[in-house]
Structure 1
């Protein structure tokens, strides 16, 4: 499940594979770009913005950006010339970019768009501060987080317009580490700046590796406190971890370690 750090890692992998190379062929397998031919384009940069990937190119006298979003199931894979593409079934391929040294294949990508680089903001300008971006701004992220005090904190954290990069895994883990129930109204969350700062540290700690851990352990089955651990004992108090739908996603939490403050107007679900 791609989150900000996974997308950051993917951007760096594409940077190593493509940047500096000249495309010898391109193959877009989505209707809106089906006739696009980027042959001869030079790949200038590969960057992430929250959960968005931006591949910047120079094609003739044009500076272009190829935008993609991984959502829940997208992925980019790099192969050597002649290497078998074995990552996923061929019908999931959305784009193929070839250089003399490598092939980059995008599987099940979403929101594919090719725009002039000067128009990137039309695709990512709505995003909040990027947790892994060079221009990370904790003060602005906190301001956005507390802007709607009646909103449930779990929903606010997932809103990429608030701060860009948090997915369901980090949402659950962050709230456990802060001892906050996912159903707490934002206005009742103690120290929202501390929440934002911890989110930044969590993603930064996992940047550069594919195994995500909030516990400090990279061993199988030991990487999370609550995420994916329904009915298993809490690592702090032993209470069974619970799982429940919240909005369009599922939430994992410990009902003992994460309690809605008395001042909140909403109650913690009992099941």
Structure 2
């Protein structure tokens, strides 16, 4: 019952409009904390505060990926350092959580009206009866986000983006924010936080333009393609061996080059799949990363 209540609250918070209060954006990944604050004036947003801190880890990638479990206080300390150094006094926070703790899938369903879909979602019967969704545990243990991507009337089917994050995992990140003295008022998965941020970019505010974002790093790897606010998202595979090499500052150029070649092939395949399926051209992409050596790595991508 408690988890169900938390789920309702989180779903509500994620949809809150916070236009009437100052909010600081906090992005937490296993290796880095980033903070940003914007001000709105005459329908224009201006970035006023920006800061970040890398998380110091002894033991390499394997120690870093579980550090929020073993040493959450380090994240609290780093967050406080960023807030203090940037003189951020705002107490309300919009929190971005990693894609890697979320289950993301495009699911096919028989065509439904908005009323039928809402009823099925409200009773959880839609997800419980979907054979394509394979979540460990019960639905009550998750915060769920969904969005209709497209409806195919002729084929009597529809595609829905399904994103589920375990409440216990979300709470680990919210605890960091709370212990730093902040109040989380919005919670979102990182890729969708980026999507929302891009809506403020006037140079990208073209309904016919397709925006492509690639997240590249030891912890987060995915491609997000946006057209008319409909997201196409796919995980990009990196083996543990490759993740360790990327995390290691002393990895050889040959090793990084081979990793980037394999990575680039996956990106090309996913873009080709998207273009074939949605008939949209892609001319450029944006790279997002928390890697300290991203400039070096980009030379091989």
* TM band (smaller chain): under 0.3
TM-score (norm 2): 0.26
Structure with greater helix percent: 2
**TM-score, structure 1 normalization:** 0.28
More strand as a share of residues? 2
